[in-house]
A = this chain, B = another copy of it.
Amino acid sequence: MVIEEIQGGVCAPTGFKANGIHCGIRKNKAKRDFALIVSEVRAAAAGVYTSNLVKGAPVIVTKKNLIDGYAQAIICNSGNANTCNANGIEIAEGMCALVENAGGISAKDVIVASTGVIGQQLDLTPMSEHFGELWSGLGDNSNLAAEAIMTTDTVRKSVAVSFELGGKTCKIGAIAKGVGMVCPNMATNLIFLTSDVAISSEMLQKALSEDVKTSFNMVSVDGDQSTNDTCCIMANGLAGNDIIKDKGADFKAFCKALNYCTVKLSRMLAKDGEGATKLIECRVTGADRKCTAKAVAKSVIKSSLVKAAMFGADANWGRVLCAIGYAGVKVDVNAIDVSFSSANGDLPVCKNGFGIEFSEEKAKEILSEDEVIINVNLNSGSSKATAWGCDLTYDYVKINGDYRT
Within 8 A of B (CB), among A292-342: 302-305, 308-309, 311-312, 314-319, 321-326, 330-331, 333
* Known A314-B403, A401-B308, A403-B314; contact A319-B118, beta-carbon cutoff 8 A: yes
Closest CB-CB distance, A189 to chain B, in whole Å?
A: 13
B304 touches A224 (CB 8 A): yes
Q: Which residues of B contact A311 (CB under 8 A)?
A: 397, 401
Q: Separation in Å of the A201 CB from the closest CB of chain B?
A: 28
Q: Are A181 and B226 in contact, with the CB atoms below 8 A? A: no
Give the residue among A120, A318, A355 with the most B Cβ atoms within 10 A: A318
Q: Which chain B residues border A382 with CB–CB below 8 Å? A: none
A105 to chain B, nearest CB (A): 31
State the copy count for this chain: 2
Q: How many Å lie between the Cα of A187 and that of B142 in the bound state?
A: 52
Q: Determine if A84 and B350 form an interchain contact, defined as CB atoms under 8 angstroms apart.
A: yes
Across chains A and B, which 8 residue pairs bring their CB atoms closest together, nearest first? A118-B318, A312-B401, A54-B325, A308-B400, A119-B355, A52-B325, A119-B318, A53-B325
Residues A397 and B403 in contact in the complex (CB < 8 Å), given A305-B222, A322-B118: no
Evaluate whether A321 and B84 lie within 8 angstroms (CB atoms) in the complex, with A394-B398, A400-B309 already known: yes
Partner of A317, one of B119, B316, B397: B119
Contact with B along A47-73 (1 / 0, CB 8 A): 000011111000000000000000000
Is A396's CB within 8 Å of the partner chain B?
A: yes
Query: Would you call B84 and A405 a contact (CB within 8 A)?
Result: no
Knowing A316-B403, A400-B309, A404-B309, the reply to whether A227 touches B322 (Cβ < 8 A) is yes
A331–B222 Cα gap in the complex (Å)? 23
Neighbouring B residues of A255 by C-beta, 8 Å: none
Within the complex, the shortest CB–CB distance from A129 to chain B, in Å, comes to: 24
- Given A314-B403, A325-B54, A326-B53, A355 and B85 contact (CB-CB distance below 8 Å): yes
| Residues of chain B contacted by A143 (CB below 8 angstroms) | none
A84 x B318 contact (CB < 8 A): yes
A312–B403 Cα gap in the complex (Å)?
9
A9 adjacent to chain B (CB < 8 Å)? no
Whether, in the assembled complex, A3 has its beta carbon less than 8 Å from a beta carbon of chain B, the answer is: no
Given the contacts A185-B326, A316-B403, A401-B314, A224 and B305 also touching, CB distance less than 8 Å: yes
Which residue of chain B lies nearest to A399 when distances are taken between CB atoms in the complex? B308
Q: Which of A119, A311, A314, A360 has the most CB of B within 10 A?
A: A119
A89-108 residues at the B interface, CB under 8 angstroms: none
Residues on the B chain within 8 Å of A316, using CB: 117-118, 403-404
Chain B residues near A305 (CB, 8 Å)? Answer: 180-181, 222, 224, 400
